[in-house]
């Protein structure tokens, strides 16, 4: 019996060889009775720490006999989809559940040089550990990791080459993680152009597309405030106790600059919030123009984008979202079969 991953205990290369000698494994391929099997695609959206919900989504789908033939993922969605494809979902979940606030900072190799505040080397090394030597074209399912090209704004679908490189490019949040150079192009986070890549899943051969939108639960965000202006509170500034020395003063300056203060957002907050405001608007527009067959919407509104220490809760919410949507998924499968 296969595990939750795409191919159980087989290695990637072993599975690829076995796949090439069998019928009916690829999306839409003919099976012995002469019919085409229903190709199922997942469009896994971005959302930083909320992406741990993808683990629960994948587990619940497989538990109910729904196994994807195609995965198109953006940012953390690409990471979850890629690790599922190489049968490392167990390791990914174990690592996610082990994260604490302190351990998270251990993975963030801050740098004031280069193209991002975080070098990303420590985090990338964990991905390489589980995907070392794996090529996307050798996977047992079709995978597309979505990225954005710097300079042109092109939407890049990474469908071949080293899996680890593709995942690093897809989650390269601008200004936070450095961009990745792949095939002569400098690439950054795919959520800038396609946060929930339904179109990519369809183009890769999926007939039934299930989208997982991690940010659908953002009630109250993105509304219009029609009457607003300045008041006297704007002139008040919270007082800080005096610095005790040169080092203390330097640390406070850096903290204010990057993390902000209780009364003023810092650089990192502004960067990330700007990114997610754009992502929210783009998601709405893209899904309106190219809606999925079924949408799975985990209730993640209370989990912040950097609440990586809340993986257990996110996984559970992902599973619950599938259970709520199971009937529409099965009905869609029946109609399209």
Question: Which positions are catalytic?
Answer: 75, 189
User: In this structure, what DSSP letter does residue 303 have?
Assistant: S
Checking DSSP bridges between strand 264-265 and strand 260-261, what pairing results, if any?
Answer: antiparallel
Cβ atoms 337, 79 nearer than 8 A:
no
Helices and strands of the chain, counted as H and E runs: 11, 10
Residue for token pair 């979505």? 146
CB within 8 A of 312, min separation 6: which ones?
A: 97
By C-alpha distance, which of 174, 188, 207 is closest to 273?
A: 174
Of 158, 173, 139, the residue nearest 275 (C-alpha) = 173
- Please, are residues 24 and 32 in contact by the beta-carbon 8 Å criterion? yes
């Amino acid at each position: 019996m296969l595990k939750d991953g795409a191919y159980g205990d087989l290695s990637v290369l072993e599975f690829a060889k076995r796949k090439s000698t069998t019928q009916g494994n690829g999306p839409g391929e003919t099976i012995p009775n002469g019919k085409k099997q229903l190709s199922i695609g997942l469009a896994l959206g971005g959302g930083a720490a909320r992406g741990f919900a993808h683990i629960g989504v994948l587990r619940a789908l497989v538990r109910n006999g729904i196994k994807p033939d195609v995965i198109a993922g953006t940012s953390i969605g690409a990471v979850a989809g890629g690790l599922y494809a190489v049968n490392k979902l167990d390791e990914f979940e174990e690592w996610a559940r082990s994260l604490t606030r302190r351990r998270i900072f251990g993975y963030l190799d801050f740098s004031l040089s280069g193209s991002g505040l975080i070098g990303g080397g420590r985090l990338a090394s964990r991905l390489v550990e589980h995907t070392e030597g794996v090529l996307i074209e050798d996977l047992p399912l079709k995978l597309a990791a979505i990225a954005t090209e710097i300079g042109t704004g092109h939407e890049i679908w990474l469908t071949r080459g080293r899996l680890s490189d593709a995942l690093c490019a897809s989650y390269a949040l601008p200004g936070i993680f450095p961009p990745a150079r792949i095939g002569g192009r400098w690439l950054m986070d795919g959520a800038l152009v396609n946060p929930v890549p339904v179109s990519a899943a369809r183009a890769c051969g999926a007939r039934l597309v299930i989208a997982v939108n991690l940010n659908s639960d953002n009630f109250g965000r993105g509304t219009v405030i029609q009457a607003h202006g300045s008041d006297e509170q704007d002139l008040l500034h919270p007082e800080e106790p005096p610095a005790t020395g040169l080092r203390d003063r330097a640390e406070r300056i850096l903290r204010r600059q990057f993390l902000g203060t209780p009364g003023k957002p810092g650089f990192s907050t502004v960067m990330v919030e700007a990114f997610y405001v754009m992502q929210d608007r783009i998601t709405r527009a893209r899904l309106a123009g190219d809606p999925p067959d079924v949408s799975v919407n985990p209730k993640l509104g209370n989990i912040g984008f950097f609440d990586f220490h809340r993986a257990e809760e996110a996984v559970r919410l992902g599973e619950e979202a599938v259970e709520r949507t199971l009937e529409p998924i099965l009905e869609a499968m029946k109609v399209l079969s």
